[in-house]
Amino acid sequence: MRQTGRSATAAVLLVIGAGLAVLGVLVHYGFMSVYGDVTGSAFDGLMWGLTAGPSKLALLLVTLFALIGFVLSVRRWMRLTAVAIPALMLIGMFAVTPLALGQRFETQYVSSPQCVTEGTAEPMASADRAAQQVFDSISHVGQFSGGGMSGVGGCTRWFKLSGDVDVLQHYRAQLTAAGWKVVEDDGHHLRAHLYGRAFDVMTCPRGGVIWAGNDGDPSYGQGRSGLVGTEICPHDL
């Protein structure tokens, strides 16, 4: 009778643990689809989610239920189930991580930079339109978020890369083919001029930043980009 009671208690704990495991995988997916780092691998994303998100707490809670269920279990299959629940939860988190990151990539990033914002007053509106024309004249690499800096000193937009791309070589070829004259190219950033306009691109560890403005303006509004590279690249690039 006592063993029957222990088995029943263990079974209830394992059912609760399994339910929490499914819920934990769904929570992990939701968190990663909003806050996940799209530049890393699925394993990197899982490790980041377990460190920075609620996934770690969910995994610990499920492991606790499974551990108590394991101790109370009197049958071998129940003990195997107790071991399998947190392991399958971790596998499930790993499986949904690339799906969540892909969803974030599609919903929060675009393939081309956007500078023009409705309702912007002059003279910023004219400067934004001029910068947008520069961006629209060439093709781009990476994925752009909606954030950036805009104003009469030019438009700056950041992008992330999901693969190994030679950013400077891409823009070097694009600008040359479009008739731009490269005036600076130091292997870290590239600046080109055309008809009074200027374009600058700088690489970051996991992406890069582009800027468009007048050829008399400093890139990114901060002077020579080589002097302030660490300030221009955000912490997540």
Within 137-212, where are the H helices?
167-177
| Residue 81: burial class (beta carbons within 10 Å; 0-12, 13-18, 19+) | buried
Q: What does the longest C-alpha to C-alpha distance in the chain come to?
A: 90
Whole-number pLDDT of residue 36? 79
- pLDDT, residue 228, reads 45
Contact call for residues 53 and 37 (beta carbons, < 8 A): no
Cα separation, 235 vs 237, whole angstroms: 6
User: Phi/psi at 202 (nearest 5 deg)?
Assistant: -135, 140
Structure tokens at 153: 């000193």
Mapping DSSP to helix (H, G, I), strand (E, B) and coil, where does residue 46 land?
helix
The confidence score (pLDDT) of residue 73 equals 83
Tokens 């991580």, residue located: 97
- What is the residue whose two structure tokens read 């081309």? 112
Which of these, 35, 27, 34, lies nearest to 59 by C-alpha position? 27
Question: Which residue intervals of the chain are DSSP H helices?
Answer: 2-35, 42-52, 55-72, 76-108, 124-136, 167-177, 229-232
Distances (CA, A) of 54 to 38, 71, 218: 18, 26, 43
Residue 33's pLDDT is 84
Per residue of the chain (237 residues), give pLDDT as tens. 456 777 888 889 899 999 999 999 999 999 988 887 776 677 888 888 888 878 889 999 999 999 998 988 878 888 999 999 999 999 999 999 988 887 777 777 667 788 777 666 777 788 888 888 888 888 888 878 766 677 777 888 888 887 778 899 999 999 999 999 999 988 888 999 999 899 999 888 878 889 988 888 887 765 444 434 446 776 555
**Distance separating alpha carbons of residues 190 and 140, to the nearest angstrom:** 14
Reading the block at residue 61, the tokens are: 């809670």
* 103, 138, 164, 186 from 108: Cα distances, Å: 8, 22, 21, 32
Please report where in the chains the tokens 């781009």 appear, as a residue: 140
- 3-state SS class at 227: helix
